[in-house]
Structure 1
Amino acid sequence: MEERTVSVLDALEDVSAVLDSNDLERARTELNAPLVERPTGEWTVEPSGDPLAMGLLVVEGVLARNIRLGEATTTELVGPCDLIRPAHYYDADAPIPVGVDWFVLEPARLAVLDREVTAAVCQWQPVVTAIVAAAISRAWSLAQLLAVSHLRRVDSRLLALFWHLADRFGRVQAEGVTVPIRLTHEALGHVVGAQRPSVTTALNQLEESGRISRREGGGWLLHGEPPRELQFSKTGP
């Protein structure tokens, strides 16, 4: 069976704007990578073992990375443009080793940036810059979610999370902004640092207030504008 491939540029939309038509066509041809497709559910990742490979670049879909430390679990949501190296998160020699589980929340397509593809990518400065920019954006997103988890009220954390997800994955519709990611109450708690019963109570409060509603088939619909009470306000001199 012929191996399926995908262009690395399919995951990096911004690159197209900085390449002329000739370079764009050539880059699409030269930067073809093996394609991995994963359905929803738990994902057991086999380590590549190649230190010269960049890893896996998400083209489509949403994945969850669960980090388990003691009795606590936290979740990072990963999507298009994110570069992941799943095998590199396991460090048995760390002072406090953590457990890592991967789940596919929305069907995913990933480009395999193995040694050969990585070498080809490194010949294209705009592509390297785009991948680095995506990595910086992911770090910034994690910093924002860390701030979200420090909000005092659980309903505030959830509302901030939903608008954070809307900014990245949302679709604007007449009735509001759709966040098409199916997350259980427990998973939401893992993202915002709250227990499931507290999440359930807070979600009910947000629905009753008309700020969110559930979508048929999963996901959420956000109504109105982002909450002004959660926006940063500079004080002092």
Structure 2
Amino acid sequence: MSSTDQIYITAAFKSVRQNEVYIFMQNEYVLCDYAPGAVFSSLECTIFGELGITCAFASHDLGIAYIFSGNICAKWYYGLYSPNNKILEGPKLIVEMFPFLNGTVFANGIDAAFESSRPFEAYLFKGDQCARINYSANGQLINNAPIRQNWPCFKGTIFEHGIDACFASHNPHQAYVFKGDSYARIRFIPGVRFDVLISTGKIKDYWMGLQRILPRKSAIYYSNCN
């Protein structure tokens, strides 16, 4: 990726506070009501602080998220509005954190993910593929198929070919997905092939608070870490 490439949203997950979401643009983030700030201190001098977060999803354990950068991931306590954010596990290879992804397209990186409304399940996206996983202590790969097969509501849209970022809404069984300068809001039921495209459009028209900061330019990173 060149330094002139435009960056929109690379990862997102919902906050524990109603109608708030953390949105990442590589190594920058904003906290939106559906506040800009610096990189979380616990991510400094890690791959996530240097190269950015390319995918994330919130755990059903409050205050915890799984974050990804390339084929590396970590289980992260992001502090619940306190300075005590810290990495709980990792950074490590995706296949070390989630062994059941070994041999799948997700082993080398995940484009987007969001947690299901079913406890300790999440949806992963990579290219035109998607998966539903259980990420508990007895985790497993539940399903792996093309997006257009598992998410019929995306057929004929740009999202059937891939998703850049997404997050589960605080409204049950709803999620937001992003690709380039576009977004969609969907309704879904875990384990049932029933999904509805509620709305779609340009990020700038719906996410008014992001108008001033998107798109970003891909940065060249210099490490100050020993």
TM over 0.5: no
Higher helix share: 1
TM-score interval (norm. to shorter): under 0.3
Higher strand share: 2
Greater gyration radius: 1
TM-score, structure 1 length as denominator?
0.23
TM-score, structure 2 length as denominator?
0.24
